[in-house]
Structure 1
Amino acid sequence: MAPKQYGVNELREMFLKFFETKGHLRLPSFSLIPQNDASLLLINSGMAPMKPWFTGEQEPPRHRVCTCQKCIRTGDIENIGHTARHGTYFEMLGNFSFGDYFKRDAIHWAWEFLTSPEWVGLDPDRLYPSVFAGNETTPADDEAFEIWNKEIGIPAERIFKFGKEDNFWEHGSGPCGPCSEIYYDRGEKYGCGQPGCTVGCECDRYMEVWNVVFSQFNNDGEGHYEELKQKNIDTGMGLERLAVVCQDVDSLFDVDTVMNITKKVTDITGASYGQSRERDVSLRVITDHIRSATFMICDGVLPSNEGRGYVLRRLLRRAARHGKLLGVNEPFLFEVCATVIGENEGHYPELRERQDYITKVIRVEEENFARTIDGGLRIFNDMLEEHKAKGEKTFSGTDAFKLYDTYGFPIDLTTEMVAEQGMAVDEAAFRQLMQEQKERARRAREALGDLGWAGIEFGKDMPETKFVGYDAANLENCPGKILAIVAEEELRDGVLEGADAILVLDQTPFYAEMGGQVADQGVITCGDARFQVTDVQKNKGGKYMHYGKVLSGALKVGDAVSSTVDGKRRKAIQRAHSATHLLDKVLRTVLGAHVQQAGSLVEPDRLRFDFTHFSALTPEELSEVSRQVNEAILEGYEVHTDVLPIEEAKQRGAIALFGEKYGDTVRVVDMGHGYSVEFCGGTHLDNTAKVGVFHIDSEFSVASGVRRIEATTGLLTLETLNRNQDMIFEAAAVLKAKPFEIRERAQQTMEEVKTLRHTVEAFQAKEAVNEAGHFLMGAKDVGELKVLTGTLPDADADRLRKMGDFLRDKAPNVVAVLSAVNGGKITFLAVCGKDAITKGIKAGDIIKSVTAICGGKGGGKPDSAMGGGTDVLKLDDALATVDDFVAGKLGL
């Protein structure tokens, strides 16, 4: 009995509806970016986003849940396109129980969904379950076997028992358990034809379509398994795999939604699917990778050189290179993503909402990579030919490192391209060179000198410093006690006098540098003693270390002191920090939800904000960002801070820095009752109006996919505005115009300058041609060619080129070498007419010959070449060799 021909989108909806009838809460797919889980770069399974619900750390929204989860796996990326079963992007259908139903219901429902005519309706006789066979530490899953055999009615000989590798799920210590898989017999045409081919064979006949994990044990990490009080169900079923079975196609690349993407790729590339294995591999790679890239970008991943951003960049670059293998040398992937969106928008409407953004990110990355790969490919091909000429089968690590370090060519791409030529990269040598580079960088950092005493540890019995600086009342004459002193000079009888030192207090109003905010400055006093605080750092033990110098008097451990923060400086820092939060909010509004903070620096009335974005901001975008930030300032939003349980903070919509670790409680800064809500431990104003005027100084790239805005607030902005106004008045005076006429007058002046420049250039070109004509009259006859050399004092390269072009075009039989000396350096130009080139005379060869004599080098094309030299005393000797060089080439 042939299976019913359900499409991918039908199967997804059918699964979710089925489990809704079983009391499950349908949840949308979680983001591909893991939340509060540093163990994963990207979500790679249906259960991964639900770990806290499985472990009991958090209460799930319901104890029965079903999802269709987007997943990315790149561990087998080299196999993509070569096999029928490997893909980087896939969707995992799952039904989950958190301490609710267990094996019996999970197995019965799996069977009902797969075999019932109301649902998928697969032939029961073609389905084969497997169970855990047990081992020396964990018993066999006889319970699951009995359910399959006695309740479902599967004969014992059709229930397969496999070992831990196949039928037991665990990942280190923690919850784990046996699993039961269901295989579908696709028929002999998909088999290997070997005797004894059955479930478990590596061929494509028996395809796993269902896997239910019975999470019933806790592994202590040392091989001991104890029964869990809360037993869970984790079911995973690959949506594309089920579609392969239902549509009776060869591979996941042949199911309807995926094949429609491939058809779009074939329309663009002109490569037909099924034409050849090599073309099919490229079409599959492009199809798979553009699916992954589209969903990753939609969820906020941007191309970069590390982490998940590097995964995305690698996928896009592999796809772009396979496009080149199919003859497409222009960006094209951005066109394909529209088809990906069209095939999936029914279940993922956010794809259509973010289509313009996704398309732009892909196109920018394609264009950037095109510039990298075009240069790198030429160098790679030259290196490859050298290795082949020597009969080598290994591409040297030195060459691979040079491609990476000098030309920006990714090592994984080099490895893949070398493998296509039947060779291998010496990766050990490459890694060694990478390590040496890191060591050089480390030594360079060390050469910068002592970075301070931030790593100093104090006794464990010493309490953490209590920070009391959020309260403005504590910023002046705040009491405290000295717990420790670290000085560059030895203390005399435990007393510190007139030296650079670090003080550790029991409590402090001084904010320590952290979270991008610079430290407070001020003074600590004790009687006549006065300590100037220039920096504050917080060590791992929670002690605030006050760096500075004793200006007068003496201090010792145990002294009761009074701390006063520089209030004017603190306010300036607060203005910049509060403006940073407003900027973060506005960037998300203007550019999109993909924007994430990637770093910041907050100084007095000055801020630096790094954020993820794929291209430079347009003048219009920058203007809109500035306008909205200043509007938020003028609104006079009240600023409130609260310390909340982390889950409550998230429910309020507080934005956290990705990758940061937070405790059970967090400090939340709320501006405007929800306008901007962020996790933040820094100091802030109590009202946004006190920021003053916000002014953007610059916007530029600091890394691939990361932009930076530098801006000022408060007094610094006022200084900038006043300085700019003074410059406007001065410029107006120079141009003899009123301030509002500056632009028109400047444009008028530039047009006049442009006209004068063209006139001068035309005169110089005419003069160069006339001079070249005089040179030509003095040429020597060497065979049938006219050879001339000459030196033009103080001529620049452009003048030499104009003269050379005239000589080459005027006399087809000319060979000319012109030179000029500027600042002790020689510039050479050689040109050859058509007749000279026909006789084997090439300008590039001549340049290499004459520059070598003068201690330089050069090269170029047969008709024109340039070079340089440094030994001016040998210039005449070099020019004198040209006649002999030509004569030698002519055999005279």
Structure 2
Amino acid sequence: MLEDEYQLDYFKENGFVRKQCPGCGKNFWTRDHERELCGDPPCVSYSFIGNPVFKKEYDIPSMRETYLSFFERHGHTRVKRYPVIARWRDDIYLTIASIADFQPFVTSGLVPPPANPLTVSQPCIRLDDLDAVGRSGRHLTNFEMMAHHVFNSRGNEIYWKDRTVELCDTLLSELGLDLNAVTYKESPWAGGGNAGPSVEVLVGGLELATLVFMNLKQTKGGPIDIKGESYEKMDTYIVDTGYGLERFVWASKGSPTIYDAVFPNIVAGLMELAGLEHSIENPEYARIFSQNARFAGVMDISGQANLLQLRRKVAESIGTTVEKLQEIMEPVETVYAITDHSRCLAFMLGDGIIPSNVKAGYLARLVLRRTLRMMRDLGIKVPLSDIVEMQIRNLPEYPEFRERIDTIREILMLEEEKFADTIQRGSRLVRKTALHFKEKKQSMPLGELILLYDTHGIPPEITREVAKEEGVDVELPDTFYSLVAKKHCKAEEEEKQALPLDIPPTRKLYYEHPAQSEFEATVIEVIGNKIILDQTLFYPEGGGQPADHGTLSLDDIAVNVVDAQITNGIILHETDSSFGFKKGDTVKGKIDMERRLAHMRHHTATHIVNEAAKSVLGRHVWQTGAQKSTDRARLDLTHYKRISDSEFREIELLANRVVMQDLPVIIKWMDRVEAEKRYGFVLYQGGVPPGKEIRILKVGNDVEACGGLHVPNTGIIGPIKLIKTERIQDGVERIEFSAGEAAVKHIQERDELLNRSAETLRVTPEQLPDTVNRFFEEWKDLKKESERLKAELAEVRVKAIMSEAVGINGLRVISKKIPQADVDELIKAATEFSKDDDMVAILASDLGGVKLVVSAGGHAQKLGINSGAIVREISKLVGGGGGGRPGIAQGGGTDAGKIDEALRRGVELVRERVE
């Protein structure tokens, strides 16, 4: 970053001096000409603890209101907070900063901001420093970023760097802060595709705010490098500030940690539940605890940091042993982390995230299971839902969380059950994995821990415990959870086909004339068998709706259009022929309207089923995917448990009521900002469309941004028949359904199956359930009788065959073919033989190929007879395979002509073992 980015007139005119910190080597600005260090840990320790920097104490609500009111007085418009799940973004899952509310459309200049300048207090979630939470005294996963933003453009500047620093100085002064104690540390910033110079506002070792001057956008091959990424200058330039609400409260109180300042009651309650309250009265504990708080800033568990080394530094600084410091601080730090995580979960679940194995749901489950694991370590027995409810009661400014408390409680209870099951099953899997590395004489690498966590949900601490029991070392870094969170916090970028730069966007006739089936167009470009036209009626695949099919013709020759895709507004028509269309040709297009109508019915029905599911299951439901075809559609929804039969029927009934109301399907283009203000981010259930204007679809109570094609009213859809529901991922339910003619055909197929089944049983369809139930009960009785008779038959056969046993060195060996016996009969007979300790039975049958069963009594096994090994070898002779336990095993093959040879070989194997 260029040096002159930080040469502010405000600094020069107000007595600031620029210095370089000997600790970290970074530059900073200060009014205190004697100051040497930048004021940022680990260069300095916390000096405000026990020595508050403001003239009075604040709590969260009062500090928030003081901040917002200050900026309102200085010409800023207050705007409402956004959700912590970034519904308006397709690149990140969580709202990581206040500027994320306005990326990418506002920051790029494509869309105007909701106000300019504005101020907001935005709840955020960042999991990059998950492992430092509780330890550093200041890190939070969930925090509120107070901010003021200005969106400048060339020729229209509201204010820039000098005014930004002046406002910060003025605010701190009004709060009663000694401005000589403030340092402004230079630090380039990057995030969410943007970057710029910034200054960190430091007081008493605490970063209270960051003032970012965002004037760069991430560009491949850009000339400016920040943190390993390439950027270039933007036409817009933005004041992006972030003031830590919780840190301001902490600085006003001077509490030992941010957790004591913000959550004193919850910390005290968890300390009591963990049995830690008695330590506070211990003088040595009190001394170490208070001194540790001042040096906790160095406990920044990030990058390649080693927790033990950092802890040793603190122990040396306060004059105690690292062992004593760990004994006192680790349980307290765990309480702090649980306190933080439980508030994070209140926001995640309160804003509608459903724990799952993907996207934002994965991150919610990461925090949730880490919390449960820490509660387990401390022996806290109360349900996690009790702690999260306690947090929600402490958040009166978020009434929407209290409205969802029943759903939140049920989600957490189910997640606790799943976690307990994971621990139980996971221990067996870890043991097996550990033995694998033990055989190789290797430690278990980090990659294996991440795989076990990602695939099976097994916490690394459990993996380490179980592996240690097997004598296997585990590579578990102190930053494990931060690494995993960072890996899952962003969406993968889709590769798009590169197109010539001079091609204009295709005119979308399918929006202008959706009922029209034929059109003329000019060929703009031909790329292989893909054709670009100046305008088209062909709908390109998008929003889960398949592309239109049809034909393109020139004179008397026609080609089939088998696909259509859109890239940067340009539509490519894929054909099944190499017929030589060329640039400038005028072609005629014709759409397969029967296929399109089926897609339109299913697409409109998807919106109706989605809204019906929300009405039945709860407003937490969010569409995660959809796909339509001509004969059916599927809709994937976030939901924390299986959809019951009664809920399934209710969703179907509500959807068909909307159809029967013959409601108009309203489609209109709206300004993005206006649409978001009116409808909220529920607009983006099917994805986030680009552009200043977005296409809004309203069907009954469902309102979404949607680029798909739809029927003009719900009556045209015809019946909606829900076919099935299934869980495709933990936390994601899929509903399959048909609409219109496809629904009628599906109902007819079901009726035919019902009638044929009734006819087979010679009853009416109405009598079918009772008849099937009666037959099923009779079948179970017959099966029990069959099992009893097979057991009796096995006893009879054993007695009859026993006399044919051959003596081999003290063992009696039976080798017998039992014609047409099924495998159950062979197993029962073999089991009877094995009750005799000296008996080995080798039995075969030619029913449906070759069935082989071998058993060995207890004494026979002690002599080394292994039924599994015998079966494996003799099964090869009959063209098959098998195996099992030493006591009994089964196998078989296809070559019945080799049964006798297999039986003889079985006897030879016994003989070879004992003679």
Q: What's the TM-score, normalizing by structure 1?
A: 0.71
Change (3 A) 1:623 1:10: farther
2:444 is the alignment partner of 1:395: yes
SS in 2 for 1:520: coil
Distance 1:323 1:797 in 2: 50
After superposition, the C-alpha distances for 1:565-605 in whole angstroms (9 at most, x for unaligned) are 23333322221121112122222222233333222222235
Distance 2:337 2:808 in 1: 60
Residue correspondence of structure 1 range 7-46 to structure 2 within 5 A: 11-19=59-67, 22=70, 24=72, 29-38=81-90, 40-46=92-98
Residue correspondence of structure 1 range 363-442 to structure 2 within 5 A: 363-368=413-418, 372-384=422-434, 387=437, 392=442, 394-395=443-444, 423-424=474-475
Residue 45 of structure 1: how far off its partner (Å)? 3.7
SS in 1 for 2:684: coil
Tell me if structure 1 keeps the 8 A contact 2:695–2:707.
Answer: yes
Change (3 A) 1:824 1:265: farther
Residue 213 of structure 1: how far off its partner (Å)? 3.6
Distance 2:101 2:170 in 1: 26
Q: Give the letter for the 1:14 counterpart.
A: S
SS in 2 for 1:689: helix
Distance 2:732 2:778 in 1: 41
Tell me the residue number matched to 2:761. Answer: 735
After superposition, the C-alpha distances for 1:222-267 in whole angstroms (9 at most, x for unaligned) are 4999999998583523527845984845673794344267369749
Distance 1:726 1:354 in 2: 44
After superposition, the C-alpha distances for 1:75-97 in whole angstroms (9 at most, x for unaligned) are 2334456x253655232362536
Q: In structure 2, which of residues 665, 671, 683 is the aligned counterpart of residue 655 of structure 1? A: 683
SS in 1 for 2:719: coil
2:209 is the alignment partner of 1:180: no
After superposition, the C-alpha distances for 1:810-850 in whole angstroms (9 at most, x for unaligned) are 66x565545445655554454655xx59xx8399x723443
Distance 1:726 1:503 in 2: 45
Distance 1:668 1:338 in 2: 36
Tell me if structure 1 keeps the 8 A contact 2:118–2:148.
Answer: yes
Change (3 A) 1:58 1:275: same
Tell me the residue number matched to 2:361. Answer: 309
SS in 2 for 1:656: helix
Distance 2:555 2:441 in 1: 83
Residue 386 of structure 1: how far off its partner (Å)? 6.1
Tell me the residue number matched to 1:571. Answer: 597
Distance 1:225 1:607 in 2: 44
Residue 383 of structure 1: how far off its partner (Å)? 4.1
Q: Give the letter for the 1:733 counterpart.
A: E
2:553 is the alignment partner of 1:542: no
Tell me the residue number matched to 1:121. Answer: none
Residue correspondence of structure 1 range 817-836 to structure 2 within 5 A: 817=841, 819-821=843-845, 827-830=852-855, 832=857, 836=859
Residue 294 of structure 1: how far off its partner (Å)? 4.2
Distance 1:404 1:294 in 2: 23
Tell me the residue number matched to 2:618. Answer: 592
After superposition, the C-alpha distances for 1:740-782 in whole angstroms (9 at most, x for unaligned) are 2222222222222222222222222333344445566777899
Q: In structure 2, which of residues 237, 246, 260 is the aligned counterpart of residue 239 of structure 1? A: 246
* Stretch of structure 1 that moved more, 616-625 or 294-303: 294-303
2:349 is the alignment partner of 1:349: no
Distance 1:38 1:169 in 2: 22
Residue correspondence of structure 1 range 499-538 to structure 2 within 5 A: 502-538=530-566
Distance 1:228 1:528 in 2: 51
After superposition, the C-alpha distances for 1:529-558 in whole angstroms (9 at most, x for unaligned) are 44444443345561442524599xx97654
Tell me the residue number matched to 2:866. Answer: 846
Residue correspondence of structure 1 range 217-256 to structure 2 within 5 A: 218=215, 222=224, 234-237=241-244, 239=246, 242=249, 246=253, 248-249=255-256, 252=259, 255-256=263-264
Residue correspondence of structure 1 range 51-130 to structure 2 within 5 A: 58-61=112-115, 63=117, 65=119, 67=121, 69-80=122-133, 83-85=135-137, 89-92=141-144, 94=146, 96=148, 98=150, 102-103=164-165, 106-110=168-172, 112-113=174-175
Residue 619 of structure 1: how far off its partner (Å)? 0.9
Tell me the residue number matched to 1:480. Answer: 521
2:267 is the alignment partner of 1:259: yes
Distance 2:370 2:623 in 1: 28
Residue 697 of structure 1: how far off its partner (Å)? 1.7
* Stretch of structure 1 that moved more, 343-352 or 573-582: 343-352
Change (3 A) 1:825 1:339: farther
Which stretches in structure 1 are left out of the alignment for 5+ residues? 116-123, 130-147, 150-158, 184-198, 200-207, 428-453, 488-500
2:347 is the alignment partner of 1:295: yes
Residue 625 of structure 1: how far off its partner (Å)? 1.2
Tell me if structure 2 keeps the 8 A contact 1:669–1:677.
Answer: yes
Q: In structure 1, which of residues 608, 619, 631 is the aligned counterpart of residue 645 of structure 2? A: 619
Distance 2:82 2:498 in 1: 42
Residue 26 of structure 1: how far off its partner (Å)? 6.6
Tell me the residue number matched to 2:659. Answer: 633
Tell me if structure 2 keeps the 8 A contact 1:640–1:669.
Answer: yes
Distance 1:225 1:211 in 2: 29
Tell me if structure 2 keeps the 8 A contact 1:92–1:238.
Answer: yes
Which stretches in structure 2 are left out of the alignment for 5+ residues? 1-48, 151-157, 218-222, 226-230, 286-325, 479-495
Change (3 A) 1:222 1:782: closer
Tell me if structure 1 keeps the 8 A contact 2:270–2:335.
Answer: yes
Tell me if structure 2 keeps the 8 A contact 1:787–1:883.
Answer: no
Residue 621 of structure 1: how far off its partner (Å)? 1.5
After superposition, the C-alpha distances for 1:662-702 in whole angstroms (9 at most, x for unaligned) are 11122222224xx2222222221111101000111222233
* Stretch of structure 1 that moved more, 588-597 or 312-321: 312-321
Change (3 A) 1:841 1:333: farther
Distance 1:842 1:357 in 2: 61
Tell me if structure 2 keeps the 8 A contact 1:467–1:508.
Answer: yes
Tell me if structure 1 keeps the 8 A contact 2:250–2:258.
Answer: no
| Count of matched residue pairs | 758
Distance 1:346 1:677 in 2: 29
Q: In structure 1, which of residues 715, 720, 737 is the aligned counterpart of residue 741 of structure 2? A: 715
After superposition, the C-alpha distances for 1:441-463 in whole angstroms (9 at most, x for unaligned) are xxxxxxxxxxxxx9585x65554
Tell me if structure 2 keeps the 8 A contact 1:265–1:283.
Answer: no
Tell me if structure 2 keeps the 8 A contact 1:820–1:827.
Answer: yes
Q: What's the TM-score, normalizing by structure 2?
A: 0.69
Residue 503 of structure 1: how far off its partner (Å)? 4.6
* Stretch of structure 1 that moved more, 381-390 or 628-637: 381-390
Q: Identity of aligned pairs, percent?
A: 23
Tell me the residue number matched to 2:186. Answer: 164
Tell me the residue number matched to 2:208. Answer: 211
SS in 1 for 2:683: coil
Tell me if structure 1 keeps the 8 A contact 2:97–2:124.
Answer: yes
Tell me if structure 1 keeps the 8 A contact 2:215–2:238.
Answer: no
Distance 2:759 2:248 in 1: 76
SS in 2 for 1:655: helix
After superposition, the C-alpha distances for 1:108-160 in whole angstroms (9 at most, x for unaligned) are 544554x6xxxxxxxx8xxxx7xxxxxxxxxxxxxxxxxx24xxxxxxxxx36
Tell me the residue number matched to 1:138. Answer: none
SS in 1 for 2:673: helix
Distance 1:228 1:604 in 2: 46
After superposition, the C-alpha distances for 1:153-180 in whole angstroms (9 at most, x for unaligned) are xxxxxx3657435xx7666865544343
Change (3 A) 1:107 1:587: same
Distance 2:779 2:816 in 1: 31
